[in-house]
Amino acid sequence: MTIRVGEVIAVQGIRITLRIDDESNQETLFYKGEKFKGVSIREYLSIQRGFREIVCIVEGEYLDESRVEATDGKVRYVRKVEARPIGFFDVDGFKQGIKYMPMIHDPAILIQEERIASIFDRQGTGGDFRIGTMLKEEIAVNLPWKRLFNSHIGIFGNTGSGKSNTLAKLYTVLFEQKLDAIQGKSRFVLLDFNGEYTGQQLAPANTKMVYALSTRAPKEGEQPVARFPLEANEFWDLETLSLLFQATTNTQRPFLNRVIEGRRRYEANPGSLTAYTKKKFRDAFCAGQPKAATLDLMRSVARTVQNKALEDLLKGVNWHSQQNKFVSGNWWFDQDGTSYDAAIAPTVETVDAGNLDAFDQLVLRANLQLISDLINGYVQFDHIQPLLKRVESSLVSLRRVLTVGLGAPIDSLVTVISMRRCNNETKKVLPLLFAKHYYNTHRETVGTPPDKTMHLIIDEAHNILSQQSNRESESWKDYRLEQFEEIIKEGRKFGVFITVASQRPADISPTIVSQIHNFFIHRLVNERDLFLIDNTITTLDSLSRSLIPGLSQGCCVVTGTAFDLPMLLQVERLQKAKQPDSEDVDLEKLWG
C-alpha cells in the first residue's frame, strides 16, 4: 500500500532533490484506513530503488519559478524538496546508514506512521519504556533503556524549558517498570541543590531515603533535620579532610596528613589525646626557642576543650618580644620549666579531652600539631593558619549536616540529598564529599565485570561542575573538577554512571561534557551553549541543531550513542504529585 508523492530529479553527493506532485500539499493524508504525514520539513519519505526502500528526511523545500505549467488556464509552480538519506528498509526492518542511493526518476512515497515509529523503536527493548511522543508525528516511541542507563546522560536546557520534568520522567518510568529487577543490584543517588525531589517524586517512599540538609540554626520548636552519616575512618581520611577544608597541595595537605597519622598512632589509648594536650602545653612554654604564635594556638585549645580556668589563665600570658619569652605577671617562662610547673601546670592538669566529638577533636589535634611543627621549625605559621581558620569557621555548618562515627548511610534504592537550605560554601564542598563517598564505596565492593551499578544524578550541575566560579582559588577549583572528571572517565569500568542536568552546559567542564554519551537537549539560546553543543555532540545533525533555540516547553532533541538518529521528543508531564517542585508561579492566582 503506497502513496506516490513525487520523483527524484537530482542527486548531488548525499543531497537528493525531489519534484513533488501538485496534490501532495496536505498536512495529513488517509488512505485505506492508514494515516500518513504529508511532505514537509523533518518528515520522512521513502524512495523506491528497485526492491529497496531508501528512507530520507526532508530538510528543505522551495519553488522552481522558472518552470511553470498552464493547465485549464491556471499557472502552477513546480514544488521541490531537498532530502538526505538516513537508512533503508530491508527484510529485517530499518537499517541506519547510507548504503544505497537513488537515481533520477525513482518514485518517492509516503511512509505509514507505524513504519516511521520502527525507525526509532528497533532496539529490542523488551518493554514499553516511553516518556513522550515524537513532536511532529505524535508517535509514542520506546526508548532503548538498556543502552541509555548504561551510559552517562546529559539533560540541558534554559530555566523553564522542562529539563527537570524530563529528568524526573526518565527515572519515574524506570522505577515504575523495573523496580523489582533493580532492587539490590543498583543504587541511585540524587544531589538536589534546590530541594525539588524531596516529596513523592521518582520512587515509592519505601525505597527512597531523603537527607534534607540544612546549615541554618533550627528555630525554637522546630524538629532537627536528618544529617548525613560518615564513618569515623572515612572522616579521618586525608582526601576527605582536604576536600572539606580546601587544603592546598604542597603545605596544608602534608600538615593534615601528620594530624591524621598522629591520631592513628595513638587512637587505641583512650587517654592519649588528653596526655598529648598537656605535653604540648609544656613544650610550648619550655621550648628552647619558643614561638609567639603558639600563644594564640594554646588559647584556641583551651576554648576547644571548654576549660574556662585555662582560658582565663592564658588571658594573662603575654609574649615579650625583646626577651623572646612568655611572661605572666612576675613569672618568666624559661626552658627549665620551673615557672611553668608553678604557674601553668596545675591548671593544665585539669584538661580533659576525652569527650570531644570528631569535629572538636580535629580542631584540637590541628592546633596541637601546629604547636609542635612551629617549635620544631617544620612549617611557617602563615602557611597553615588559613587552614585552621577554615576548619574553625566551617565547623558550625558541618555539624548541622554531618555526623561522624554514628553509623553508615541507610542502604536504600534511591537516596536524595537536598542542599536547598545549605549555604553556598557548603554547597561547593558537600557534593564532592558525597560523590567520593558513594564512588569509593561502590568501587571497593563491585566485582569484575561489575555485578552492581551506581547511578549519580546531579541536578543543576553548574553549581558544582562549573569552571566559571570566582569564589574559590584556582587550585581548589582544579581539584574539585578533577575528582568529578575521574568519576566520569573511569566510573564506567566499575558500573558508575552519571546523569547531569544543567541550565548552562557551557559553564560545565568540557572534559565532563565530552564524556557524556546521550543527550536530552531542551531550549538553549546562549551562543556559548549552542557552540558547545555543536562541537561536542557528533550525532546531532544541522537541522536538529537549528531547532534548539526555538523549542517549546517540554520538547527536546534526543541524541547520542543509544539512538541511531536524532529524535524530536515531546516529554509528557508527570502527575502533579510526582512533578519536581520547580513549577512557575501562577501570578494570576497569587495576585488574584
**CA proximity to 17, closest of 111, 84, 89, 87:** 84
User: Which structural domain range is residue 572 located in?
Assistant: 145-217+408-591
Q: Looking at residue 142, what is its pLDDT? A: 80
| Alpha-carbon gap, residue 228 to 416, rounded angstroms | 11
Q: Which of 397-411, 490-504, 574-588 has the highest mean pLDDT?
A: 490-504
Domain count, the chain: 3
- Let me know whether 173 and 252 are in one domain: no
Residue 224 predicted with pLDDT over 70: no
State what percent of residues in the chain have pLDDT above 90.
2
Q: How confident is the model over 90-109, as pLDDT tens digits?
A: 777 777 778 888 888 888 88
Q: How confident is the model over 347-376, as pLDDT tens digits?
A: 888 888 888 888 888 888 888 888 888 888
| Alpha-carbon gap, residue 202 to 208, rounded angstroms | 9
| Average pLDDT of the residues in 16-20 | 85
Nine cell digits for residue 10? 537530482
- Let me know whether 521 and 384 are in one domain: no
- Let me know whether 239 and 206 are in one domain: no
Within a domain: residue 584?
yes
Within a domain: residue 139?
no
Last residue of a domain, which of 387, 403, 419? 403
Nine cell digits for residue 537? 555532540
| Average pLDDT of the residues in 272-297 | 82
- Let me know whether 160 and 73 are in one domain: no
Question: Which residues face 8 on adjacent strands?
Answer: 18
Within a domain: residue 365?
yes
- Let me know whether 212 and 190 are in one domain: yes
Last residue of a domain, which of 403, 421, 436? 403
Of 220-234, 343-357, 374-388, minimum mean pLDDT range:
220-234
Q: Looking at residue 455, what is its pLDDT? A: 92
Within a domain: residue 241?
yes
**CA proximity to 127, closest of 167, 198, 78, 176:** 176
Residue 471 predicted with pLDDT over 60: no
Within a domain: residue 140?
no
Q: Looking at residue 124, what is its pLDDT? A: 47
- Let me know whether 416 and 392 are in one domain: no
- Let me know whether 555 and 455 are in one domain: yes
Q: Name the CA dihedral angle for 253, 254, 258, 264, rounded to a multiple of 10 degrees.
A: 60
Within a domain: residue 224?
no
**In whole numbers, what is the pLDDT of the chain averaged over residues?**
81
| Alpha-carbon gap, residue 7 to 281, rounded angstroms | 95
Element (H, E) at 310: helix 308-315
Q: Looking at residue 188, what is its pLDDT? A: 92
- Let me know whether 554 and 495 are in one domain: yes
pTM to 2 decimal places? 0.80
More confident site: 29 or 523: 523
Residue 126 predicted with pLDDT over 50: no
Q: Looking at residue 84, what is its pLDDT? A: 85
State what percent of residues in the chain have pLDDT above 70.
91
Last residue of a domain, which of 377, 403, 429? 403
Assess contact for 491 and 512: CB atoms under 8 A: no
| Average pLDDT of the residues in 275-287 | 84
Q: How confident is the model over 49-62, as pLDDT tens digits?
A: 878 888 888 888 88
- Let me know whether 360 and 258 are in one domain: yes
Within a domain: residue 184?
yes
Query: CA of 178: how far to CAs of 128, 354, 410, in Å?
Result: 11, 50, 21
Residue 253 predicted with pLDDT over 70: yes
Q: What does the DSSP assignment read for 359-428?
A: HHHHHHHHHHHHHHHHHHT-S-HHHHHHHHHHHHHHHHHHHHHEEESS-PPP--SEEEEEEEES-HHHHH
Q: Looking at residue 71, what is its pLDDT? A: 58
| Average pLDDT of the residues in 534-546 | 77
- Let me know whether 398 and 412 are in one domain: no
Neighbours of 508 (CB within 10 A): 26
- Let me know whether 416 and 521 are in one domain: yes
- Let me know whether 425 and 567 are in one domain: yes
Three-state DSSP state, 149: coil
| Alpha-carbon gap, residue 86 to 260, rounded angstroms | 60
Within a domain: residue 128?
no
Residue 265 predicted with pLDDT over 60: yes
pLDDT band with cut points at 50, 70 and 90 for residue 551: confident
Q: Looking at residue 125, what is its pLDDT? A: 45
| Average pLDDT of the residues in 155-177 | 87
Question: What does the DSSP 8-state code read for residue 112?
Answer: B
Rg of the chain in Å (alpha carbons): 33
